[in-house]
Amino acid sequence: MLFRRVLSLVVFLTSVLYVQADAVGLPDHLLSDAKSGQADAQNQLASRLVGLVGHEQEAVQWFQKAANQGQVNAEFNLGVLYLQGHLVPHDVAKAQSWFLRAAEHNMAAAQFNLGIMYDHGLLGRKDPAKARQWYEKAALQGYALAQNNLGIAEEFGIGGDRDLAKAKSWFTKAAWQGLAIAQNNLGYLLEHYGNPSEQSSAIQWYQKAAEQGYAAAQNNLGVIYEYGHGVPADFSQAAYWYTKAALQQDYFAQNNLAFLYETGQGVAKDLPEAVSLYRLSSRQGCAEAQNALGYLYEHGKGVAKDPIRAFDLFQRAADQNLAAASYHLAVMYRYGEGVDVNMPKAFTYYERAAQEHDPRALRGLASMYRLGQGVAKSELKAYVFYKTASVEGAPGTALVQRAQQHADALVQRLNGDEKSQANRLVQQILHGAPLSELLGS
């Protein structure tokens, strides 16, 4: 299940009017008004001239004349031009200077752009606190993009304290203005941090953003229907929304839709289509898709069996800290599938996956300790990991039953002190203690 968030919006809005026109199309009075020193006319004239071939430098000169008189739109437009390196040399410092002048004249778009510049380190280093300050200035003027980014800062404690109530408030303000990214973020916040009564509101906000064509929200709405979060599970609806997002190259949706084609839920089972979608998602760096595609290559499902290709895909996903992929690498190293047998590496990858509470990896570690493979034999540690696997795994599954059987057999061979130590270690692992420290204890 992959939810899609967009945590920031790197957008520089512009009021420069890139108008394709000819000189005949210019109002008669505009040039005379600009020449007479009217700053508004100078900015308007410059905005028209930007789109006229051969008049670009004249446009810059008129922007400069208007900006020197404090015309706020011209100040902002010069900031955009210097930031983009359009008609003038790219110069971030000059862009900041002009945005700052416009921001001091209380222009919300300029304040937002300054926030972006500090947020993304365009001035040399990131300064989340300053970014948050500028976002707030623009947000208080009702600027939806700034309200969204300020909501993100509040939600994650970026550049200041974390405050989910304020995050919700800012997302809501932007969402009511129709900003799809904020509608999606508000839906996510309500779903994952809100109370049960807010579940229906989360779905409504996802729906609003999805109907605007916002891919992240379309994917999230698909997840809602696939897993029945607040609505009856409906795989056909899930596939419908995943497809819309996947067609926009959303790699979360491509992966999620691929799984439906692989399993035949909501769509006719189609392994070639699943493989195609997993590949598209994998090429964009989706670890879950890389892992799923690796599994298909490992077992020859929908593709020719290719352990070497599977190993490469698992490695790419594991490098992104995906526990399931680390588990698969551990198995391949342990049994020599697609790579030479290497028990120390098998142990290392089991440990990485077990740290993320993967019950299969916990069972793998237990087995290696029980058999003394790649590590010193230890019935105490074998019991610890079998017992933890039995708790972390899905109740009633064969994995849990076998892990519990091994744990029951091993505990009989431990003395009282060892049992106390082992049960203490189980609790520490369940509460997220680093395995590397526990394993050395």
The answer to whether residue 14 scores a pLDDT higher than 60 is no
> Using one digit for the tens of pLDDT, what is the confidence trace for 20-71?
344 445 677 898 999 999 999 999 999 889 888 898 899 999 999 999 999 9
For residues 198 and 143, the model is more confident at 143
Per-residue pLDDT at 25: 57
With contact defined as beta carbons under 8 Å apart, do 63 and 46 qualify? yes
- Mean pLDDT, residues 335-359: 95
The answer to whether residue 6 scores a pLDDT higher than 50 is no
Label residues 354-388 b or e (16+ Cβ within 10 Å = b).
bbebbbbbbbbbbbbbbeeebbeebbbbbbbbbbb
User: How many CB atoms neighbour CB 88 within 10 A?
Assistant: 18
Per-residue pLDDT at 8: 40
The answer to whether residue 144 scores a pLDDT higher than 80 is yes
The answer to whether residue 11 scores a pLDDT higher than 60 is no
The answer to whether residue 403 scores a pLDDT higher than 60 is yes
The answer to whether residue 309 scores a pLDDT higher than 60 is yes
Mean pLDDT, rounded, of the chain:
92
Per-residue pLDDT at 194: 87
pLDDT bracket for residue 16 (50, 70, 90): very low
pLDDT bracket for residue 2 (50, 70, 90): low
> Using one digit for the tens of pLDDT, what is the confidence trace for 222-273?
999 999 988 999 999 999 999 999 999 999 999 999 999 999 999 999 999 9
pLDDT bracket for residue 200 (50, 70, 90): confident
pLDDT bracket for residue 12 (50, 70, 90): very low
Q: Tell me how far CA of residue 261 lies from CA of 62, 289, 298, in angstroms.
A: 58, 13, 18
The rounded distance, in Å, linking the Cα atoms of 111 and 136 is 9
Looking at the chain, the whole-number percentage of residues with pLDDT higher than 70 is: 94
- Mean pLDDT, residues 376-402: 94
With contact defined as beta carbons under 8 Å apart, do 180 and 214 qualify? yes
Contacts of 93-102 spanning 24+ positions with Cβ under 8 A: 93/123, 96/123, 98/67, 99/75, 101/67, 101/70, 101/75, 102/72, 102/73, 102/75, 102/76
Predicted TM-score (pTM) of the model is 0.87
The answer to whether residue 4 scores a pLDDT higher than 60 is no
Looking at the chain, the whole-number percentage of residues with pLDDT higher than 90 is: 85
Per-residue pLDDT at 196: 85
> Using one digit for the tens of pLDDT, what is the confidence trace for 61-91?
999 999 999 999 999 999 999 999 989 999 9
Per-residue pLDDT at 322: 97
- Mean pLDDT, residues 192-209: 91
Instruction: Name the residue with tokens 């945005």.
Output: 99
